Structure 1
Amino acid sequence: MDCPVMDYISNNYYQQKEANDVIRKFVEKMTWKTDEVVLDLGCGPGDVSSNILYPLIKNKIKQLVCADKLHKFIEYAKISYENSHINFKILDIENANECSLYAHTFDKIFSFLCFHWVWNKMNALVNMKSMLRNNGEICIHYLLNNPNLEIYKKMDPEWQIYTKKTMQANMPVYSLEETKTIFEKAGFRVVSIETNKNKFTFQNIASIITFFTTIKAGYTLSSTLLNCSVNVLSNISAATACFIETRCTGSVDASSTSSTSSVPRTESVISSFVRIPETTTSLSISTKSSKVSSAIS
């Protein structure tokens, strides 16, 4: 199996912990029927889907479909976790044609620490809504802000050229209010927002660098650059995570909306998986949807 996949799995403790916390908190708040079909979007190598999400919802569902755009993750997940109740698919949430194959298929959509990587969040939300059945619900957990962007800003120009693509991939950056507006424009009505602070620690700098290296499978940075990034982090302050739960009462098509070591703290910005900070702030948004007739630009 591809080494980066195994490295990712061995270093995603915090993703697992946060997913577990979010699922336990929001699953019981959702409205469940019998034999529901659920999508886990951005499932990665499938360990969180199989070991955390499925055990907590297995008595409520008929099928768990897990999707990711990275082929190497899905290949690993199929070999390791697929069974009669859990299957894995390659899917790009920003691709309307791919998502149309699952129109009105799912009762629930979950997504953990994935949505911040999505470039066109409006299109992604519209696609999600198109895949939901009537009275469907979604629960999304992602970083509101991205520490990588602050690192990039503070780097010397000679280093910035090596991370340009990574920074572009992590754009755009939205404020909390802008994020709320995007969900509303996609047809979701915000019900509640709550924030939580989480503390993360690393045994040493080496463990931080390993975490940094494996956290984004689509990009590779040199260890020298990673060391530079970790040093830069010490000049920044506190990261933010974001939980978003949405409830859907209708469908919508794509053309309309309705260290114990002293770990450095980082400032958060919308899109990075990389949570090097000692302390992060999480945000919860609950929403409901209604049909909206105005067009999405």
Structure 2
Amino acid sequence: MEFTQDYCKYNSLQLRDASTFFKRNVNFLKDQFKDKPLRILDIGTGCGKVLHEIVLGESGLNFVDVIGVDKCSELIMQARKNYSNEHIQFMIMDIEKNWPNDETFLNFDFVFSNYAFHWVQNYKKAFENIHTALRSGGMFYVTFIHSTVIVNIWETLVNSKYKEYKSNINDYFSSLCFNEEATSVVKELLEKIGFKVIFVEYKKHDFDFSPRERFDATTNALNPFIKAMPKKVLKEFNDDLRSIFKLLNEGDKPFNIPYTSIDILAKKI
């Protein structure tokens, strides 16, 4: 629960990049949807903050029926506590499982997923489920972390000093991550499933995770190795991690992390 609360508190990156998407694409989306009332599904909604503040608050689209899903029960509890109302529901659901044949989960106009798909192992099933969930002509937007230097640093640290806590990082991240052919793999798959691809883009970013509390909270929420670490060991691990970043980033931004994403916008044919 501690890491869940921190993740909800320090999610400025997710807010920033979701806002950027809508600012860049709002005219296109409005042209597609006009002013009609829309149903939206948010996959990997987390604590619901991005959905509430950006998707509903900044997109300029008329979302009237809103469902956020996440497989983490603790995050869904937070979302329900903070944002549920007569128009917004939050449910525990795994996008990699069979999709329910229930009208509640069908005929969405728009499906949105912001920085969740890097955890998805069976991405083929996930995209098929999105296709099932959408109405004909409905659209989806997915963005996920493709690569980040922090993963390499984690592995180096674990291999050199924390070997007893080592696990296979590929068991946690999607095989699309760090895959140089990811954009072409995704485009080909989506077209095969039955989507018209608007774009599949590879983008470079960086984000300053200062202050230290935000840096620790963000890396702890993402780090697959820490589940087995006692608190004392985790503190030492985080101290080592911060020291490395301070060496890499001399100057005013000691906790700046570069990363790449893959952004996808597509329409159900």
Deviation at residue 189 of structure 1 after TM alignment: 3.4
Deviation at residue 60 of structure 1 after TM alignment: 1.5
Per-residue CA deviation, residues 116-144 of structure 1 (Å, 9 max, x unaligned), is 11111001100111111111100111112
Contact 1:154–1:232 (CA under 8 A) maintained in structure 2: no
Aligned Cα root-mean-square deviation (Å):
3.1
Say which SS state the counterpart of residue 190 (structure 1) adopts.
strand
**Aligned match of 1:77:** 79
So what's the TM-score if we normalise by structure 1?
0.73
**Seq. identity, %:** 22
**Aligned match of 1:270:** none
Residue 96 of structure 1 pairs with residue 75 of structure 2: no
Contact 2:72–2:92 (CA under 8 A) maintained in structure 1: yes
Gaps of 5+ in 1: 238-258, 264-275, 291-297
* CA–CA distance in structure 2, aligned partners of residues 184 and 59 of structure 1: 26
**Aligned match of 1:203:** 210
Which residue identity does 1:17 align to in structure 2? Answer: R
Q: Evaluate the alpha carbon distance shift between residue 201 and residue 93 of structure 1 in structure 2; reply closer, same or farther with a 3 A threshold.
A: same
* CA–CA distance in structure 2, aligned partners of residues 125 and 24 of structure 1: 25
Per-residue CA deviation, residues 239-275 of structure 1 (Å, 9 max, x unaligned), is xxxxxxxxxxxxxxxxxxxx73334xxxxxxxxxxxx
Contact 2:148–2:259 (CA under 8 A) maintained in structure 1: no
* CA–CA distance in structure 2, aligned partners of residues 83 and 218 of structure 1: 37
**Aligned match of 2:171:** 168
Q: Evaluate the alpha carbon distance shift between residue 89 and residue 27 of structure 1 in structure 2; reply closer, same or farther with a 3 A threshold.
A: farther
Contact 2:199–2:266 (CA under 8 A) maintained in structure 1: yes
* CA–CA distance in structure 1, aligned partners of residues 27 and 225 of structure 2: 34
Contact 1:8–1:217 (CA under 8 A) maintained in structure 2: no
What does 1:1-297 align with in structure 2 at a 5 Å threshold?
2-30=1-29, 31-32=32-33, 34-57=36-59, 60-97=62-99, 99-101=100-102, 102=104, 104-155=106-157, 156=159, 159-164=162-167, 166-172=169-175, 173=177, 174-175=179-180, 176-203=183-210, 207-215=214-222, 220=227, 222-230=234-242, 260-263=252-255, 277=257, 279-290=258-269
Say which SS state the counterpart of residue 91 (structure 2) adopts.
strand
Per-residue CA deviation, residues 168-219 of structure 1 (Å, 9 max, x unaligned), is 2114243333233333333333333445443322435554223212356996
Say which SS state the counterpart of residue 164 (structure 1) adopts.
coil
Total equivalences in the alignment: 254
Gaps of 5+ in 2: none
Q: Evaluate the alpha carbon distance shift between residue 117 and residue 283 of structure 1 in structure 2; reply closer, same or farther with a 3 A threshold.
A: closer
Q: Evaluate the alpha carbon distance shift between residue 198 and residue 147 of structure 1 in structure 2; reply closer, same or farther with a 3 A threshold.
A: closer
Contact 1:202–1:260 (CA under 8 A) maintained in structure 2: no
So what's the TM-score if we normalise by structure 2?
0.79
> Structure 1 residues 174-183 or 5-14, which shifts more?
174-183
